[in-house]
């Protein structure tokens, strides 16, 4: 089957140094890139987290997409939303790593690349995220501060966090 992705990476994944980072606006994503983005988001946010919701929320078209590839396989992803699209501030969302590379240090370089790209594209300004609550310490480790109370989104505890410019 042509679009079948492997159950494991074709080469041993040693860590984030092997990842090729690419950031593109929606309208220049290749069909194969878009397929892998939507597949990874669905694999993790819908299937793994057992959360049936419509992931395609009409925000992708106005967002930038940061993709981390190990070879031809998408292993990390997030989208960068301009101010006013997700929050009044610039924001980063749909932060996800593939189960193929979990616990191998991909989260930090993903977020640091996302912050750098967000500021390069939109200028240095505050960045707001809606973080899954269990990841508050992780996001704090890259500079975000918790703001507000815990809220449920798709039955998962979240909290807003902000990185001041």
pLDDT in tens, 128-153: 999 999 999 999 999 999 999 999 98
Strand order in the sheet with 127-132: 20-25, 64-70, 73-81, 90-97, 127-132, 156-163, 145-153
Kindly state the DSSP code that residue 26 receives in the 8-state scheme: G
Asked if residues 80 and 113 have their Cβ atoms less than 8 Å apart, the reply is no
Q: What is the distance between the alpha carbons of residues 162 and 12, in angstroms, rounded to a whole number?
A: 35
Backbone angles phi, psi at 32, to 5 degrees: -65, -35
3-state DSSP assignment of residue 117: helix
Q: Which residues contact 56 (CB under 8 A, 6 or more apart)?
A: 38
- The full set of domains in the chain, from first to last, is 17-163 (3.40.630.30)
Res 11: pLDDT: 60
Write the CB contacts of 82 (distance below 8 Å, at least 6 apart in sequence): 62, 63, 90, 122
For 10, the token pair is 């074709």
Q: Enumerate the H helices of 42-106 as residue ranges.
A: none
Banded pLDDT at 1 (limits 50, 70, 90): very low
pTM: 0.91
Question: Hey, what are 9's tokens?
Answer: 């990476």
> What pLDDT, on a 0 to 100 scale, did the predictor assign at position 5?
57
Give the span between the Cα atoms of 36 and 32, in whole angstroms.
Answer: 6
């Amino acid at each position: 089957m042509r679009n079948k992705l492997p159950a494991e990476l074709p080469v041993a994944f040693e860590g984030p140094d092997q990842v090729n980072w690419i950031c593109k606006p929606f309208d220049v994503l290749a069909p194969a890139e878009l397929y892998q983005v939507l597949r990874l988001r669905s694999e993790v946010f819908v299937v793994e987290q057992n959360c049936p919701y419509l992931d395609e929320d009409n925000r992708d078209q106005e967002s930038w997409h940061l993709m981390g590839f190990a070879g031809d396989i998408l292993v990390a992803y997030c989208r960068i939303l301009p101010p006013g699209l997700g929050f009044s501030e610039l924001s980063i969302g749909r932060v996800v790593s593939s189960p193929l590379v979990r616990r191998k240090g991909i989260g930090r370089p993903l977020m640091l690349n996302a912050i750098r790209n967000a500021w390069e594209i939109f200028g240095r300004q505050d960045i707001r995220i809606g973080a899954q609550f269990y990841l508050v310490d992780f996001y704090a480790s890259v500079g975000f501060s918790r703001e507000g109370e815990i809220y449920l989104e798709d039955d998962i505890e979240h909290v807003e966090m902000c990185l001041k410019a």
